[in-house]
Amino acid sequence: MVRKFLYFVAGIAILVVAGGFVLNIWSRELTELALVPSTEFVEQDPLADNAYQDPEMWFSRPGKGTDDPARWQPALREGERAVPLPSEGDTPDFAVFFVHPTSFTERAAWNAPLDDEEANDRARLFIRGLASPFNRASEIWAPRYRQATVGAFLSDSEDAQSALDAAYADVAQSFAFFRDSVDEDTPIVIAGHSQGALHLLRLMREEIAGKPIADRVAAVYVVGWPISVERDLPELPFPACATPDQAGCILSWSTYAEPADPSDLLEAYSGSTGFDGQPRGESTILCTNLLTGGIGGSAPAVRNLGTLVPEDSLENGELVPSYVPARCDSRGLLLVGPPPEMGNYVLPGNNYHVYDIPLFWRNLQEDVVARVEAWQSPAA
C-alpha cells in the first residue's frame, strides 16, 4: 500500500475551498489562467448501469482487505495518554458512504478520467487520512467518480457547472448502488470533504429527502463546506446535531487558527445564493464543535482525544491528545487557538481547511459510534 500520508497535496489544489470559496495567493486572473481549462466542456458518456458492481470502481468497499485506505489506523504518539478504542464487540454495525475531495488538478479536461493514476493515487491518500476516522464501521464505501477539476471552482461559466453536474451524476449513481447493497437494517453514515461535501449536499436534497433511506441515516458529516443556518439548513432533510447523543443530524465545520482572516471566504459566502433561493449574506455558518459534540461552544485542548499530526517526511502520522482546543465564533467558524504545527499546507488567513478532519481525528471516531448507537436506541 502507498505509505505517503494524506497531507501530500499537489501544487495549487490546496488553495481551493470547494464550490467557489477560493483563497488566492496569486491574483485571481493568474490563478484562473493556471488552472481553469481552456477547452470547452465535453459531455461524458454515462457510466454503464452496472458500473459500480465492479470492485475497481471503489477506492474503499467491503472485501478490499489491506488495500483499503479507509481502514488505516494511526498510532498513538509514544508517551501520550492512551484513549481506549472500542472493542470490536462494542461497536455497532454501520455502513459509511464517503466522498473524497478534489484530487484532479489538470486543466486539459473539466473532469478527471477514471484512469488518471495521479488523481487516483492522491484520492487514496485523502481517503486514508480523511475517511479513516470512520474505520470502526462494519462497511466503508468510497467511490471513484469523474470529479470536477480544481479549476472548475474558479469559474462561473456554464462549462464549470456542467463539470460539477457530471461529477455529481457519478456520485449519485454510486450512492444508489451503496444503498441497495447495504442490509436494510443497517444504519448508514454519509460523509465527505470539500468537493465531496458539495455533492453530498445535493445528494441529500435530491436522493434522500422524503425517501425511505432518510430513516436509516444516523449522521451526515459535511466538512469543509459552509452551510448557512438560515438559508441552507431548513432546506435539508436533517437538522444540525445539537447534542452529542443525537442521531439523524448534520455536522459541519470550517477550521481556522488565530488570528483568523476569513475575509475571502466570507466575501464569497455572503454573495452566494442559499438553498432557499435567497442571498446567504451575513447569515451564520453552521459550526459543529466535535470537542463538545454540539453546535457552537468552546472546549479546552484536554477535551481533544487525538489530533492526527503528520511527520515532517509526510510519510506517516501519529495521534496526539490535547493538541488543540476548539471554539465556534459568532460567524460560525471553528477556531483552534494559536496556529498548531500540522505541516506546510495551511492556507492564507490561518485557514486549516486541509486539516479540518485530522485536527479532531479521534473525537470524530468516537462521535460517529455514539451517533450510531443513539440511532439504534432512540430516546423514548
What pLDDT, on the 0 to 100 scale, is given for residue 155? 82
The mean predicted confidence, pLDDT, of the chain is: 88
pLDDT tens-digit map of 86-123? 555 567 899 999 999 999 988 889 999 999 999 999 99
- Provide the 10 A C-beta neighbour count for residue 144: 21
The residue among 218, 223, 179 whose CA lies nearest residue 91 is 218
Beta bridge partners of 190: 97, 220
- Mean pLDDT throughout 118-143? 94
Distance CA 149, CA 152 (A): 6
Whether 6 has a pLDDT exceeding 70, the answer reads no
Whether 1 has a pLDDT exceeding 50, the answer reads no
Q: Check: CB of residue 102 under 8 Å from CB of residue 112.
A: no
Q: Which helix (H) or strand (E) holds 120?
A: helix 117-130
Cβ neighbours of residue 156 closer than 8 Å, sequence gap 6 or more: 20
SS3 255: strand
Whether 55 has a pLDDT exceeding 70, the answer reads yes
pLDDT tens-digit map of 20-44? 344 333 445 545 556 888 888 988 8
Distance CA 143, CA 98 (A): 8
Lowest model confidence (mean pLDDT) among 47-51, 62-66, 279-283, 360-364: 62-66
What pLDDT, on the 0 to 100 scale, is given for residue 163? 95
Compute the Cα dihedral for 69, 59, 250, 380 and give only its sign.
Answer: negative
Q: For residue 113, which amino acid is it?
A: P
What pLDDT, on the 0 to 100 scale, is given for residue 8? 30
What pLDDT, on the 0 to 100 scale, is given for residue 2? 28
**In this structure, are strands 334-335 and 255-256 parallel, antiparallel, or unpaired?**
parallel
Whether 18 has a pLDDT exceeding 90, the answer reads no
pTM over 0.85: yes
- Provide the 10 A C-beta neighbour count for residue 214: 14
User: Count of residues for the chain?
Assistant: 380
